[in-house]
Amino acid sequence: MTPDPALLQPLLDLLAQTDGWTWLRVLVAAAFYACALVAVGGVLFGQVFGHHPGLHRAAGLRPLVPAAAGLALALLLLQWPLQAGFLGGGTWAAAFDPGLLALVFDGATGQRLLLAGSGLLLLQAFWIVSGRWRGPAAAASLLGAALVLLAFTQVGHSTGEPRALLAALLLLHLSAVAFWIGALIPLYRISGPPQLGEPATRVLQRFGLVAAPVVAALIVAGLWLAWRLLEGWAPLLHSAYGLVLLLKLTVLGLLLGLAGLNRWLLVPALVAHAPRARPRLRASIGCEMLLVALILLLTAFLTTTASP
Partner 1 sequence: MPLLKALQWLAPAALALHLLLAAPLLLAHAQPEGSLPAHGSTVSGSPNRIAVWFDHPMRLTLFEVSGPRGVVPLTQGPGRDALTRFETSPAAPLGPGRYTVRWRGLAADGHVMADEIYFNVR
**Footprint of partner 1 (CB under 8 A):** 17, 47, 83, 86-89, 99-100, 103-104, 107-109, 111-112, 134-136, 138-139, 142-143, 145-147, 149-150, 153-157, 159-161, 163-164, 167-168, 171, 304, 307
Q: Which is nearer to partner 1, 146 or 258 (CB)?
A: 146
CB of 75 closer than 8 Å to CB of 35: yes
Q: Which is nearer to partner 1, 40 or 196 (CB)?
A: 40
How many other CB atoms are found less than 10 A from the CB of residue 195? 8
Q: Which is nearer to partner 1, 43 or 187 (CB)?
A: 43
Least distance between partner 1 and beta carbon 101 (Å): 11
Q: Which is nearer to partner 1, 47 or 130 (CB)?
A: 47
Q: Which is nearer to partner 1, 118 or 205 (CB)?
A: 118
Phi, psi dihedrals of residue 130, rounded to the nearest 5°? -145, 130
Least distance between partner 1 and beta carbon 117 (Å): 15
C-alpha closest to that of 184 among 262, 126, 75: 262
Least distance between partner 1 and beta carbon 12 (Å): 14
3 state SS of 131: coil
- H-helix segments, 97-239: 98-105, 108-129, 136-151, 163-190, 197-230
d(Cα 60, Cα 186) in Å, to the nearest integer?
Answer: 6
Least distance between partner 1 and beta carbon 52 (Å): 18
Least distance between partner 1 and beta carbon 118 (Å): 11
d(Cα 53, Cα 65) in Å, to the nearest integer?
Answer: 19
Q: Which is nearer to partner 1, 136 or 253 (CB)?
A: 136
d(Cα 257, Cα 263) in Å, to the nearest integer?
Answer: 10
C-alpha closest to that of 63 among 189, 177, 147, 196: 189
d(Cα 220, Cα 226) in Å, to the nearest integer?
Answer: 10
Least distance between partner 1 and beta carbon 155 (Å): 4
Q: Which is nearer to partner 1, 54 or 107 (CB)?
A: 107
Least distance between partner 1 and beta carbon 181 (Å): 19
- End-to-end, the C-alpha distance of the chain in Å comes to 28
Handedness of CA 281, 200, 126, 110 (dihedral sign): positive
